[in-house]
C-alpha cells in the first residue's frame, strides 16, 4: 500500500481510504485486519445504547455488477459490550473512528461520551441509515435536528465529530451546512439510498424488512453529486462515500471536493485486498496526472469550472 498521507477533520491519516461503517466492522479482529490490509482508518459499525439483533433474514440482496441492497436493521452489541472490540483494533495500531446512532440529541451525546472513552480518534454520527425506524435518516433529514444533534455531541466530547449525511432528502447540502453550524469537524456523504427489490415468483419484496438501502457502483454518481453540492455550501472537509471500487473512483470523489473517502460494498465483494489495489491505482493515477499529493486533487474539478 503506497503512503498517501492526508489530514481530514484534524486527523492525520496514512492514506485517504477509510473502511466504511457496517462492513467488516463486526469485531475488533476484523477491524484490525482491514487496518493491516492498508485502510487509512477503520470506522466501526454503528453502535447504539442497547444490544439490537437487527431485522430477520433475508437482509441482503446482491447484484454483482452494480451493488447491494441491505436492511440489516443496525444490529450491534450495544455500547456496553463493543468497547472491548475497539480495544482489539487499537491494540493492532489501527486508527479507529467510532460510529454511533441514537434517537435524539441526548442519546447521541451520551453515546458519544461512552465512545470517546474507548480511545477512538473521532466520532461519526449515523444520521442517515434509511431503514431504521426512529433513527438515521428519520432524524438526519431535518436540518434543525442535524444541527441540534451535532451541537449536543460537540459540546459533550473533545473529539472531532463527523456527520454522515443522507442522500434521501431534498437538500443534502443543506443538511451538511446544518452539521457545520452545529460544530462538525467534517461531513461524510453518502449513506445508502432507499430502495426495493421484488421477487416476482413469490410476489413479494425480497428483503424481510421490505425497503432497504442501495450501495455500490450504482450510487457513485449520486454520491459525487452530493459531495459536489456540499463542497459549494460548506468549508469543513468532506469524506466521500458511495460506490467506490477503483482508484479512479477515489480521484473522482477527491476532485468533486472530498478530502478522504470510505469504501464499503467493494470490500464486501472483494475482501480487504481492495484497499491495497485501490491505493496502488490511486497512487499511479495521481502521479500520471501530475498531483504530488492526494490533497492537491481535492476540489480540482471545481477550480477547472471556475
Q: 190 and 222 in contact (C-beta within 8 Å)?
A: yes
Output 269 or 306, the one with its CB closest to ligand FMN: 269
Question: In this chain, which residue has its C-beta nearest to ligand FMN?
Answer: 22
Output 124 or 148, the one with its CB closest to ligand FMN: 124
Active-site residue flag, 8:
no
CA-atom Rg of the chain in angstroms: 18
What distance in Å separates the CA atoms of residue 134 and residue 52, rounded to the nearest whole number?
14
Q: How many residues does the chain have?
A: 306
Closest contact distance (angstroms) between CB of 305 and ligand FMN is 26
- The active-site residue out of 8, 121, 129, 226 is 129
What distance in Å separates the CA atoms of residue 91 and residue 119, rounded to the nearest whole number?
11
Instruction: Tell me which residue of 302, 6, 11 sits closest to 160, measured CA to CA.
Output: 11
Closest contact distance (angstroms) between CB of 17 and ligand FMN is 11
- How many CA atoms are closer than 13 Å to the CA of 28, on its beta-carbon side? 16
Closest contact distance (angstroms) between CB of 266 and ligand FMN is 6
Closest contact distance (angstroms) between CB of 169 and ligand FMN is 15
Output 47 or 121, the one with its CB closest to ligand FMN: 47
What distance in Å separates the CA atoms of residue 264 and residue 231, rounded to the nearest whole number?
22
Which residues would be at the binding site for ligand FMN (CB under 6 A)?
20-23, 45-46, 68, 70, 72, 74, 99, 126, 129, 164, 191-192, 215-216, 219, 241-244, 263-266
What distance in Å separates the CA atoms of residue 184 and residue 200, rounded to the nearest whole number?
44
Output 65 or 203, the one with its CB closest to ligand FMN: 65
- Catalytic residue list: 129
Amino acid at each position: 500500500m503506497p503512503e498517501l498521507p492526508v489530514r481530514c477533520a484534524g486527523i492525520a491519516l496514512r492514506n485517504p481510504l477509510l473502511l466504511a461503517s457496517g462492513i467488516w466492522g463486526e469485531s475488533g479482529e476484523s477491524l484490525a485486519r482491514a487496518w493491516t490490509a492498508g485502510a487509512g482508518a477503520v470506522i466501526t459499525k454503528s453502535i447504539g445504547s442497547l444490544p439490537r439483533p437487527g431485522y430477520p433474514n433475508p437482509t441482503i440482496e446482491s447484484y454483482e455488477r452494480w451493488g447491494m441492497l441491505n436492511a440489516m436493521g443496525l444490529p450491534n452489541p450495544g455500547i456496553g459490550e463493543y468497547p472491548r472490540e475497539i480495544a482489539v483494533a487499537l491494540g493492532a495500531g489501527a486508527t479507529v473512528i467510532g460510529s454511533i446512532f441514537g434517537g435524539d440529541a441526548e442519546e447521541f451525546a451520551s453515546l458519544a461520551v461512552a465512545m470517546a472513552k474507548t480511545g477512538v480518534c473521532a466520532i461519526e454520527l449515523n444520521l442517515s441509515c434509511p431503514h431504521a425506524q426512529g433513527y438515521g435518516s428519520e432524524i438526519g433529514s431535518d436540518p434543525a435536528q442535524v444541527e441540534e444533534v451535532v451541537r449536543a455531541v460537540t459540546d459533550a466530547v473533545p473529539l472531532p465529530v463527523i456527520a454522515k449525511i443522507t442522500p434521501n432528502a431534498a437538500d443534502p447540502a443543506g443538511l451538511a451546512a446544518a452539521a457545520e453550524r452545529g460544530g462538525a469537524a467534517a461531513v461524510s456523504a453518502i449513506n445508502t439510498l432507499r430502495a426495493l427489490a421484488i421477487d416476482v415468483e413469490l410476489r413479494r419484496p425480497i428483503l424481510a424488512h421490505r425497503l432497504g438501502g442501495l450501495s455500490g457502483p450504482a450510487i457513485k454518481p449520486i454520491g459525487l453529486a452530493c459531495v459536489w453540492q456540499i463542497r459549494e455550501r460548506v468549508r469543513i472537509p468532506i469524506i466521500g462515500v458511495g460506490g467506490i471500487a477503483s482508484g479512479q473512483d477515489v480521484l473522482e470523489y477527491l476532485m468533486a471536493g472530498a478530502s478522504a473517502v470510505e469504501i464499503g460494498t467493494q470490500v464486501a465483494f472483494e475482501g480487504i485486498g481492495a484497499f491495497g489495489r485501490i491505493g496502488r491505482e490511486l497512487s499511479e493515477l495521481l502521479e500520471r496526472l501530475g498531483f504530488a499529493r492526494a490533497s492537491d486533487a481535492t476540489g480540482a474539478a471545481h477550480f477547472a469550472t471556475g
